[in-house]
Amino acid sequence: MAELGEGAAVPVIKPKYINAAIVEVRFESGIELYELESSGAAKALPPAGTPHWAETGRAYPAVYVREGGAGEVKTLKVKVRWDQQGCDGGAKLEGASADGELKITGDFTVSGAKGEAEASCQFTKRPGVVRNHGRGLSLAWQVTAGGETGAARGGTPLTLFFVDQKPRPIAWLGTGYKSFYLPIADWATQWAEGKKDTAPVLAALWDKFSDGTGARVPHVTGFSYWRTDDPVQNLIELLQPGSAAGRKGWSCTSIAHLFMECLALHGIQCGEVVPLTPPGALMFLVKNWRHDPRPVPNWPAKPEDYYGGTWAHSGRPPLNERVPTSHGWVVDFRKEPGVPAQGQRDAPLGFQNHWIVEVSGKLYDTSYGMVHPSDIARYAAAALAGWLVGVLPDAPPARRAKAWVCHVLLKHRLMRIDRARN
């Protein structure tokens, strides 16, 4: 026993603490995203072996299904680095958004004064509706170990898109498309932001292609339908940086495929439908034509042939310009003011074929913003005006004008080809 005045040993109490930082975040939804380069090459996001978020590099986007959506996947991995004292053993990682709509949790083991470990995590809370966090979602992270809780640096912002249902595969014939492209994920979640379930999501997406009576002019993408006679036909060319679509316009094919990718990303089944001009006709005339109730044939030997005006090629929509004829024939088919198509008010006069989309037993004409029953005869009656069956040179030939020879709609039957479905 120490006597009065003698020194006594004082025990040293070492403080407990833990400092942590997020090193990497790897999402595991299984939904692949691609970024298009200016060459048209598709690059995986992120590149193989690269995390979605790292303290030393850029953040890459990921797609997950919303809370409650069919086919949901919740897993991800987060690498944590620490220095600590007195906190060895089991540890809990938690990251949460400020609004509480999203939370990530996982477990790992702390061992030693300094170290790293990968935590297998889950989304324990996700948005219950479609969400677009393409501009970055801020998360606050914390680690709890040995009864101590401390904020974890890093791991934010994350780039996340939450879709309605598990995406359906992309399998369109001969396109060479990858799974999903980043602009599609951005648009499809922006356009359906805050919605859930198939019908509301479909309605929200279609709203960007139709005002209920016709196409959107201007279109939210900034593209114009058939602005020139050489529009962009392929979704890859449409979406790549420096796309020619701004100069040349976009076609029915690229519009339809863009809409189909948006639908497929939200898990909505759809398919390509191609209305096709039948044998005996050169083109079908779009609805902005009318013919006299009792047309006067210009050729008595062919009473079904009607004169549709004389047209010269034009560099402006609708790509044909009406010019006076010197023949004096009776004009039975007349071109009305243009029918709106995506991004412009004066669409071309006619086509040999067209691309539209079938969804839930209806035909969505993505170029003209109209919905029709899934019946090609009823589609034709609502969308077409007649047929171009021949052209005759006007006089003098130097004008390069063509007289259009037309038939009324009932003279031929529009063909239908059902192509790939997802």
Residue 266 Cα distances to 96, 184, 272, angstroms:
25, 11, 17
State the Cα–Cα distance between residues 160 and 192, nearest whole angstrom: 15
Q: Is the dihedral of CA 150, 154, 155, 160 positive or negative?
A: positive
pLDDT at residue 422 in the model: 86
pLDDT at residue 67 in the model: 97
Helix 252-265 × helix 182-191 angle, to 10°: 70
Residue 89 Cα distances to 18, 21, 84, 160, angstroms:
12, 17, 11, 32
How many other C-beta atoms lie within 10 A of the C-beta of residue 216? Answer: 17
Tens of pLDDT, residue by residue over 265-300, are 999 999 999 999 999 999 999 998 888 777 666 667
pLDDT at residue 326 in the model: 67
Residue segments in the chain with a per-residue pLDDT below the cut of 70: 1-14, 173, 295-299, 326-328, 395-399
Pairing outcome for strands 289-291 and 333-335: antiparallel
Token pair recorded at residue 39:
């060459």
Identity of the residue numbered 26: R
Residue 404 Cα distances to 66, 223, 304, 366, 414, angstroms:
54, 30, 13, 27, 19
pLDDT at residue 397 in the model: 60
pLDDT at residue 62 in the model: 98
State the Cα–Cα distance between residues 248 and 225, nearest whole angstrom: 9
Tens of pLDDT, residue by residue over 349-400, are 999 999 999 999 999 999 999 999 999 999 999 999 999 999 988 766 656 7
In this prediction the pTM is 0.93
Q: From 258, 233, 205, 214, select the one nearest 383 (Cα to Cα).
A: 214
